[in-house]
Amino acid sequence: MPDMRGCLMSKLTGQQIADEGLDGWAYLLGGLQARIHTKNFAAGLSVVNAIGAAAEEMDHHPDLNLRYTHVDVRLTSHDERAVTDRDIRLARVISSIAADAGAQLEASNVSRLELALDTAAREEILPFWAAVLAMEHLSGPDFGDELRDPADVLPTVWFQTSDSEEPRQRWHLDVWVDPAQVQPRIDAALAAGGTLVSDAEAPSFWVLADPEGNRACLCTWQTRR
């Protein structure tokens, strides 16, 4: 098992991560994510224990969510607020653990959700939402200007500057997915009665709307810094 303690790591770009060819993993909003399908809860717990042991040995720890028939995994280097070589190495170890357990690892149904509020009065309303949601206000190059759940359970909330004219949609969803999953999700949305509002910013994001005009964006890491 590789020992990564004391290693100086640098942030990896989306393209560098894609070049690693990590089957079953998606790069979503600063982290690697995968879903490990297991036969039952006991099998999932065994996988979690094996991942925990490997993480302790490597001194690099993932976020794990154990469910009855699957385990969700997210890897990120918190000190860098990004994916580094440490995450790539641990992802490969976790893939091997899943394979040894006869578990299937995939990322087709894995996504990351953000909520965007269209507002002309960000400074006035941000403290209210921080209080109601018990979130931290973070700003700077690594964050933008947003609210984040310290426990990383609730979706991040960010504020999209707009004028005060009506009508406009106040809230919209940003759904981050692996690039390979964009077209299948667009196809499913159109088949369900939705419309493709714009692909002008593709492959960074696509704007879709439901039959009533409520919008959501499918977002990827592509063409982003």
Distance of CA 208 to the CA centre of its chain: 19
- Residue 158, Cβ neighbours under 10 Å: how many? 18
| Whole-angstrom distance, CA of residue 123 vs CA of residue 194 | 33
| Whole-angstrom distance, CA of residue 106 vs CA of residue 34 | 6
pLDDT at position 20: 97
pLDDT at position 224: 86
| Whole-angstrom distance, CA of residue 129 vs CA of residue 148 | 11
Rounded to the nearest integer, the mean pLDDT of the chain is 91
Q: What is the pTM of this model?
A: 0.88
> With 90 as the cut, is the pLDDT of residue 143 above it?
no
pLDDT at position 43: 97
Which range has highest mean pLDDT (15-19, 145-149, 150-154)?
15-19
CA-only gyration radius of the chain, Å:
19
Residue 120's pLDDT band, with cuts at 50, 70 and 90, is: confident
Residue 162's pLDDT band, with cuts at 50, 70 and 90, is: confident
CB-CB contact of 156 with 138 (8 Å)? no
Q: Which domains does the chain have, with CATH numbers?
A: 14-106 (3.30.1360.20), 112-219 (3.10.180.10)
